[in-house]
A and B are shown apart, each in its own frame.
Chain A
Amino acid sequence: MPGNETTHPLLQRFHEGDPAALGELSDRFSPALMGFAGRLLHEPFLAGDIVQDVYIKLWQRKGEYDSIEGIRKFLFVATRNACINQNEKYRLRQGQPPSSEDADPDEAMRKLILSEYLGLIYQIVAAMPDKLQQVFYLSFEEGLSPEDIAQQLDIPRQTIKNRKVEVYKALREGLKHYKVAMPILLKMLFPH
Chain B
Amino acid sequence: MYRIKQEQPVTEAEQAQLESWLQRSTGNRQLFNNLMDDRFVMDNLKEMKQWDIPAFSAALVQKIREQEKPAPVRTLQSPWFRRIAVAATVLLIAGATWFILRPSPEKGNPAPATIVSIEGASNKARLTLADGSVIELDTLKNGSIAAVAGNNIQKSNDQLIYNNAGEASTNTLTTPRGGKFRLTLPDGTKVWMNSASSLTYPTAFNGKSRTVDLTGEAYFEVARNPKQPFTVNIQDLKVNVTGTHFNVNGYEDEGQVLTTLVEGGVQVQRQQQAQALKPGQQAIAQQKANTITVSNANIKQVLAWKDGLFIFDGKQKSEILRELSRWYDI
Within 8 A of A (CB), among B1-33: 1-2, 4, 7-8, 10, 14, 17-18, 21, 25, 27-28, 31
Check if A149 is an interface residue, CB within 8 A of chain B: no
A182 to chain B, nearest CB (A): 7
**Quick one: closest A residue to B176, CB to CB?**
A49
How many Å lie between the Cα of A107 and that of B54 in the bound state? Answer: 29
Interface of chain A: mostly helix, strand, loop or mixed: helix
Give the distance to chain B from A40, nearest Cβ to Cβ, in Å: 14
CA distance A117 to B305 in the complex (A): 44
Q: Note all chain B residues with C-beta closer than 8 A to A35.
A: 44, 48
The answer to whether B1 and A171 have CB atoms under 8 Å apart is yes
Q: Return the chain A residue nearest B233 by Cβ.
A: A95
Assess the A56–B330 pair: CB atoms within 8 A.
yes
The reply on A189 being an interface residue by CB < 8 A is: yes
A175 touches B45 (CB 8 A): no
Interface class of chain B by DSSP: helix
Contact partner of B64 (CB less than 8 A), chosen from A56, A118, A121, A171, is A56
> With an 8 A cutoff between CB atoms, is A41 at the interface?
no
A interface residue count range (under 10 / 10 to 19 / 20 to 34 / 35 or more): 35 or more
B42: contacting residue among A23, A140, A186, CB under 8 A: A140
> Which residues does chain A contribute within 8 Å of B54, judged by CB atoms?
27
A165-192, CB under 8 A of B: which get 1 and which 0?
0001001100110110011001001100
Would you list which residues of chain B between 269 and 314 have a CB under 8 Å from chain A? none
Q: What chain B residues lie within 8 Å of A26 (beta carbons)?
A: 53, 56-57, 60-61
Lowest 3 CB-CB distances: which A-B pairs, in order? Answer: A26-B57, A23-B61, A179-B8
Mind listing 29 A-B residue pairs with CB under 8 Å?
A19-B61, A19-B64, A22-B60, A22-B61, A27-B54, A34-B48, A34-B51, A35-B44, A46-B176, A51-B56, A52-B60, A56-B63, A56-B67, A59-B64, A93-B200, A94-B213, A106-B27, A107-B27, A110-B31, A114-B35, A118-B48, A121-B45, A141-B42, A171-B1, A172-B2, A179-B10, A182-B18, A186-B14, A189-B21
Residues of B within 8 A of A (CB): 1-2, 4, 7-8, 10, 14, 17-18, 21, 25, 27-28, 31, 34-35, 38, 41-42, 44-46, 48, 51, 53-54, 56-61, 63-65, 67-68, 126, 128, 134, 172, 174, 176-177, 198, 200, 213, 215, 233, 235, 252, 330
